[in-house]
Amino acid sequence: MCRVLILLFIVFNVNLTFSQTNWQKGFDQGFQEGYCYNDIGCVSPPVPTSIPNIGSEYNSYKDGYNQGFAEGQSRKNKDASDRSNDSNRTRYKTSSPKFIDYVYKPNYEFAFKLVHNVQKGLDEAQTEMLKGNDDNAIYICKEILRILPGQVSANQLLSLCYLQKYKNEEKESLANLARYHAREAAKTKKYEFMVSMIENKLEEYAIDYAKKSKNYDLEVNNLNEKIEETEKSILNYKKNSITTSYDINLLIKDVELDFEIGLHNRVISSLKPILNKIEDGTIKEKKTIFFTYSTLASSYSSKHKVKECIKYATEAINNKINDEIGELFFIRGLSKSYLNDYYGSNSDYKYLIKNYKKMNYNTNNLPTVYNNLAYNLILQNKIKDAKPFIEKAIHLDTSKNYIWATKGELEFHLGNYSDAINAMSKSIVIKPTSNSYYYRGLAEIELGNKAKGCSDLSKAGEMGETKAYTEIKNKCNK
């Protein structure tokens, strides 16, 4: 759970530090210039302690300068008024009244402590949230907002806390609170993306809830209908608004943003009007055609809709605008393997290997391509043919657990059980998987190490490998 939250913090770029260096520099300069404005020979008094006004950027020199200039002029006027009052009082000798200054003086010491206390509170709230103590974090953030309404970091934390609680408790009220505080944080322009990110996660969790429900099919259908209804309204709006190349460019910018934050349903819906115009010959601009096909291919790949991915990847390859199309060959090859089209998948991988440098391909590195080709051959029972490809993958990269796992599986099928155990052990050290424990367990049993093998098979079963229980029944319970 902590890893999910840490990832969200990286994506959201939550700024929980009251870094006032630039703001303070601007304030100091602004105060001095404001105090001595149009006053030749003026010497500014020491710059007072101050804090940014609500709505100011804490690290903005400009905001600090503007606030300092205004306070400098205010201080100048006050000092002039005080001198005038002092001068007038010296003319009256009949009494010595006590002067009372009714001008409001901010408690700068309190304000300075407030800033540091808020920072301390934000740090504590973040720590509580990462520990899973969402209620504690929410309480702290609410107190901060009571003192500083609109504080961006507190709203960001609250949005994440309510998102986390919604995931655990499945209450629509929590989802709405997550949305509300995301919108509050998004009032600061650079955090506008938070709204889409939160909506995307809420949709993901809603689908997870539906899968766990007894009325799974009904709830998924209802949810999908709601999603489709929303997408249709967006689609109709965009379809009616696309009339010029300017409209197309605006839509493409929207699509690029949606794709970047993982809203693949929306990407697919948004591109349909452009796709229709490409197919009826209205749009002929090559860059737009390639962008549409390649983005659809990637979006369908992300949604594991392999047939659609293959279709649009092929269209994009046929309409390429340069040679940097390696990713299209990779996702098409991967999709073909899911459909057991190993011949077609191997052809794409081999083409990618042959033209790797020409394509300037670096999304999935070359060892991964060799690994996938080797694994396809294992699935085709062409074990000996697979060996040089997996050896090449390991020669290029020894840090990937799945490459060692493919190596282990291959050695097991070749009857090299010690080599299989060695490879699977290396895979497990990097990242344990059920498949690695499964084949290591089988190899141990083949070498007569029944206790070790059965232990590994049991671990594989715990991690979700159902075949392990059949092997346990046949090889461990006798």
Q: CB of 14 within 8 A of CB of 157?
A: yes
CATH fold, domain 365-478, is 1.25.40
The token duo for 354 is 């042959």
Q: Rounded CA gap, 51 and 3, in Å? A: 35
Q: Which two tokens mark 126?
A: 């973040």
Q: Tell me the average pLDDT of the chain.
A: 77
Pick from 228-237, 335-344, 353-362 the range whose average pLDDT is largest. 335-344
Confidence of residue 83 (pLDDT cuts 50, 70, 90): low
Query: What residue segments make up the domains of the chain, in order of their start?
Result: 365-478
From the centroid of its chain, how far is CA 53?
31
Q: Which residue, among 273, 326, 280, 324, has the nearest Cα to 296 in the 3D structure?
A: 273
User: Which DSSP symbol is given to 186?
Assistant: T
Look at residue 367 and tell me whether its pLDDT is greater than 50: yes
Q: What is the pLDDT of residue 99?
A: 40
Q: At what angle do helices 21-35 and 61-89 cross, to 10 degrees?
A: 40
Q: Which of the two residues, 271 and 198, has the higher pLDDT score?
A: 271
- Which has more confidence, 328 or 251? 328
Q: In terms of pLDDT, which residue wins out, 411 or 99?
A: 411
Whether 250 has a pLDDT exceeding 60, the answer reads yes
* For residues 395-405, average pLDDT: 92
- Cβ pair 5, 130 in contact under 8 A: yes
Task: Indicate if the pLDDT at residue 290 is higher than 50.
Answer: yes
- pLDDT for 84 beyond 60: no
Q: What is the mean pLDDT of residues 226-242?
A: 50
Structure tokens belonging to residue 417: 């059980």
